[in-house]
Amino acid sequence: MEEKKSKKANVERLLSMWREAGLLVSLLILVAAFTWSQKEPQLLKLESNLDIFDDEEIADITQEQERRRPPEPPPVIKIEEEELPEPEPQPDLSDLLPDEDYIPNLEDEFDDLEVKVEKIFTSVEQMPEPEGGIQAFYAWLGKNIKYPQAAKEMGLECNVFVKFVVEKDGSISGVQLQEGTEELCNDAFNQAAIEGIRRAPKWKPGRQAGATVRVYYRMPVFFKLSGN
């Protein structure tokens, strides 16, 4: 009777064969790894396209770059605000202020002033007059006033109208031409009359209500040649 082979025995036989084949391949790979020659890597030679500069050229380029460098901005200065002291409280002066309805009385404020402007009268009870009378004064003027030489040579005559103030002591002040008479005579006649009156002696002062007062006085000064 023929003995039959089981399928299990065949499968185990096939596995054994594949296992031996795998082991053989592994040995071949291991031998190849040890016998592989290592090749040294070759480095690529890089050529530079940059130009080589001298030290002087580098220095020039550096200086040019420094010249073109923009100026640095000025430093920022921080100013701290000074703290102001607190204002001192002001005293209450409301009690010292006058009332709104208060009206000061100034009538007696200037009673003690020494300098007062005294009135100049134009007409008084007793008018001032020169010592010896008006005719004596004209005689004095005829001796003390110089007749203008140019007018004398030309035969000119004129009446100059002047005004002045007879002070309380009888002295004469403020001598000037009367208004509107400046053109009646030339300047030589006018100045001669004014200078003559200024040198006149004192008069008797004018009186009003029994007191001496200042008085305006007006009079003409005659320039006439003898024989006319």
CATH of the domain at 142: 3.30.2420.10
**CB under 8 Å to 127, separation ≥6 — which residues?**
206, 215, 217
In-domain check, residue 124:
yes
pLDDT at residue 87 tops 60: yes
- Asked whether residue 9 carries a pLDDT value surpassing 50, the answer given is yes
| Alpha helices by DSSP H, the chain | 7-35, 55-68, 134-144, 149-153, 187-198
Q: Evaluate whether residue 218 is within a structural domain.
A: yes
153 falls within a domain = yes
Phi, psi dihedrals of residue 151, rounded to the nearest 5°: -65, -35
Is 191 domain-assigned? yes
pLDDT tier for residue 1 given thresholds of 50, 70 and 90: very low
pLDDT(115) > 60: no
Question: What residue numbers bound the domain in which 165 lies?
Answer: 120-223
Q: What is the pLDDT of residue 54?
A: 54
The answer as to whether 52 is a domain residue is no
Mean pLDDT of 120-125: 94
User: The tokens of 196 are what?
Assistant: 């003559």
- pLDDT surpassing 80 at residue 150: yes
Quote the pLDDT of residue 155.
92
Instruction: Determine what percent of the chain is predicted with pLDDT higher than 90.
Output: 43
1 found inside a domain: no
Q: How far apart are CA 203 and CA 209, in angstroms?
A: 19
Residue 139 lies in a domain: yes
- To the question of pTM greater than 0.85 for the whole model, the response is no
Side chain identity at residue 120, one-letter code: I
For residue 11, how far is the Cα from the chain centroid? 124
Residue 80 domain-assigned (yes or no): no
In the chain, how many domains are there? Answer: 1
Widest Cα–Cα separation across the chain: 219
Residue 158 · residue 228 · CB < 8 Å: no
Question: Per-residue pLDDT for 50 more than 50?
Answer: no
- Determine the pLDDT at residue 197: 95
